[in-house]
Amino acid sequence: MALAKVCIGLLGFGTVGTGVVRLLTVERERLESRTGCTIQLKKVLVRNKNRPRKVLIDNRKLTTNSSDILDDPEIDVIIELVGGIDQAYRYILRALKNKKNVITANKDLMASYGDELLLEARKNKCDLCYEASVAGGIPILRTLTDSLAADRIQKMIGIVNGTTNYILSKMSHDGLSYEKALASAQALGFAEADPTSDVDGLDAARKMVILSHLAYSIPVKLDDVRITGITDVTKEDIAYAQKLGYTIKLVGISEVNNGTIDVRVEPTLLPNAHPLASVENENNAIYVYGSTLGETMYYGPGAGEGPTAVSVVSDLLLVIHDMKLGITGTHIFLPKREMHARKDNLVESQFFVRLHIMDQPGSFSRLTDLFKNQGISLEKLYQEPMVGQNAAEVSIVTHLTNKIQFEKSFDIMKKLDVVLNAKYFRVERG
């Protein structure tokens, strides 16, 4: 169909919104050349029209009334960048009911209400695009639904939170404590004043929900994800992992096998040779295992004004393409398979154990006998005395073992009178 002009309404004018406006202004000629139509940013929803902006915009385009955008019959596409869940949900639902195509970068919303909103989009023959909700500038969602559509995805491992990756990188390379590394991340703007969602793993978990939905066509919910954050990771944990040839990263893991799915976010030891082990600072990466293609990795900046704005505007080009062909809403991706979460007794992994043990005759043999009696074999072991204390530091990596069996053994080990303290992390095989 002929399409002379596309009108856009932007909800939110924060960091990403500024990047979107900048791109639509600076790259306007190139974008219009690619789409073959005029792209007009008609209205922008803001809280304060008089606030100074980092990008030049006609003040008459600013509004504090969402109805000026959501109910304007001339606006074809809504870009939602207000964040949060409840208000954003109401905005997007109203936009779709008004037959407007929607683009969002809102991972929290899509992880919580994505299925419902996608169904509403299909019902109203509208596009609902959300590439920017996961991994910023990395086009991983479209890769899963388009480029890898012919393959059967079996597993994904992702560093999908730049804040925690920056913190762990500083702890690993600069020897900073968790508290000092977090303060550095906050000073540079990589972490919020309240970093809870990032450091507790919730942000990464929401992204793994979205990725799992698209990769497996399974309606994964946030409650299905096992989540452990990084607040208990110490620089000593990282140092001892390094002595055994590993790097600690907060990774999201999603895997299907024999009709079950296991999705988790947790600090994990990666062999130093693993491609994800070299992903540093605020960067993100997703490692995908396909049954036919094999292993591929997608790497790049995971957040920020520029990368996220690029993903948003790329979604805009897709929407305009669909509008021109009259096919909006026809390729909405909805889950088709039932969700069966894998039970812990079916989960197998290697584990890294770090403990302090009393330096006295028989202590070490009691430890090794325990693992032997529980049927758990050890792959790596490192021991050194603790200076000035009658104790030794012991680091262990087990062979592949059942999670339930390991946790039972770990609980018994902690109760041994020769064990002073202990903790463990999962190990991802290379």
Known catalytic residues are 207
Amino acid identity of 111? A
Beta strands in 113-259 (DSSP E): 128-129, 153-159, 226-227, 246-257
Q: 138: closest CA among 304, 256, 293, 336? A: 304
Enumerate helices (H) and strands (E) in the chain, giving the number of each: 14, 17
Question: 111 is written with which tokens?
Answer: 């992880």
> Dihedral angle at the C-alpha atoms of 250, 142, 129, 58, nearest 10 degrees?
90
In order of 56, 123, 216, 424, the CA distances from 61 in angstroms are 11, 31, 41, 55
| Run of H or E including 82 | none
- Rounded distance between C-alpha atoms, residue 101 and residue 92, angstroms: 9
Burial class (CB in 10 A: 0-12, 13-18, 19+), 213: buried
What number of CA atoms fall less than 13 Å from residue 102's CA on the CB side? 33
* Structural contact between residues 49 and 77, judged by C-beta atoms closer than 8 angstroms: no
Q: For residue 358, list its beta bridge partners.
A: 391
* Structural contact between residues 404 and 345, judged by C-beta atoms closer than 8 angstroms: yes
In order of 139, 238, 417, the CA distances from 413 in angstroms are 45, 22, 9
189: left (phi over 0), alpha (psi -120 to 50) or beta: left
Helix (H, G, I), strand (E, B) or coil at 264: strand
